[in-house]
Amino acid sequence: GAAARASRDEFQALFAAGRYAEALPHAQRLVAAAESTAAGVPDVVASLTDLGITQLRLGSFRDAEASYMRALDALGSGEAVFSLRYVAPLAGLAAVYAAEGRHAEAVDFFGQAIAVSRRSLGLFNELQAPLIDSQIASLVSLGRYDEAEAGHRYLVRITTRSFGEND
């Protein structure tokens, strides 16, 4: 209802302002509210993903990992494996692993998020560009330069298809 919307608005305002410590309790309340009502899987997943990104920004990597895992568990078997709802929790887990220096795991989870994005939105959708960019950073950290270069070439193809050869 209106209270939930107000709480979400407050969370989003604090998060957008970079006030993550103040946003955290709002994110936690949103998760509790979504889980305690018949809000449905999308609201639970969105709330857990918001909580995860807040925890990640605060450097609480273990908590962020747990939130993203809970989001993926909430999706469970109720969603098609290539539902777009998987992208944010997969990318969030990858970001946690990259921040912790666990780049091999980050590459794998960015890869899963990219695969879901491509399956849902097409091979050259622009939404995957930041995922590819982040995956490239982890590949470089691992010294996997050929794969990183392939990622750069793919980004060029996305940009060329989106904006044309001369832009």
Element (H, E) at 125: none
How much is the pLDDT for 78? 59
Task: Tell me how far apart the alpha carbons of residues 23 and 55 are, in angstroms, rounded to a whole number.
Answer: 10
Task: Tell me how far apart the alpha carbons of residues 78 and 41 are, in angstroms, rounded to a whole number.
Answer: 9
- Give residues with Cβ within 8 angstroms of 137, minimum separation 6: 98
pLDDT of 47 above 60? yes
CA distances from 15 to 3, 36, 138 (A): 18, 23, 26
Whether the Cβ atoms of residue 89 and residue 109 lie closer than 8 Å to each other:
no
pLDDT of 37 above 80? no
pLDDT of 142 above 60? yes
The mean pLDDT of 57-73, rounded to a whole number, is: 96
Could you give the percent of the chain with pLDDT greater than 70?
92
> Which letter, b or e, does each residue of 99-131 get, where b requires 16 or more Cβ atoms within 10 Å of its Cβ?
eeebbeebbbbbbbbbbbbbebeeeeeebbbeb
pLDDT of 156 above 80? yes
| Number of neighbouring beta carbons within 10 Å of residue 39 | 15
The mean pLDDT of 42-60, rounded to a whole number, is: 95
Q: What value, to the nearest 5°, has the Cα angle with vertex 137 and ends 72 and 114?
A: 40
